[in-house]
Structure 1
Amino acid sequence: MKSTDFINGIYKECITNQIELYENLLENTQNATDPIWIETIKIYKSLTNEEKISILKFFKIIEVNTVASLLSIIDGDKAIYDDFISFDLIPQNSENISGNLTNEFLQKDDMTD
């Protein structure tokens, strides 16, 4: 597996699919039991279509920043407990693909917008 394949898979699973899931849950959940979801759905349903799109775009920003932060830790660009440690991410029967994952991921996000 190449780093590009990894990034494309991460983007699809953690960004694209997750935002679609949130939108589907917010639009279609009828019998939520979690108090946070109940309130969130209520707020979401009160928004205009334009405002709903803005909220989903904001959710995407949060998702992208979260994944980018994790990739920065793997790449060794972001500290854990004040220590910069780089990790080797080696898919089975492949070579190390870490080191530039954050940049590749953020470039993928720029191309997707």
Structure 2
Amino acid sequence: MEKIGNRELLYSGDFIVPAGEQVEMFLNLKGWKLKIVVIFDPNGKEQGITIRPINDYAEITLIKWDNGLGTCTTKPAELGTYHSGEKIFFTAANFCIGGTNNLTFQVLMGSKND
């Protein structure tokens, strides 16, 4: 088991994503099948993140994360709750060169009190 702080690292992936494309992850988190779609929106007004539940998956939009020097979550962002009550978080870091995104994405599990 790997941990970051007091959270268990369940998944870590690196993606090189051409302009206009998205990332789809199909994860098995301790028996729970979770689909996550990451969309890049370089045209938003302000930099940020939106998280939306869509039918059977989570849609995460990274708005104005197109900086060549990089952008990241400054702390784990809550994604949901596992059926046993532990919370699921994600962290992300991205830099963009010539429209191509280089995304590192991690999924973590924290305690019920996290």
In the superposition, the TM-score normalised over structure 2's length comes to: 0.21
Task: Flag the structure with higher helix content.
Answer: 1
**Larger-Rg structure:** 1
Of Structure 1 and Structure 2, the greater strand share is in 2
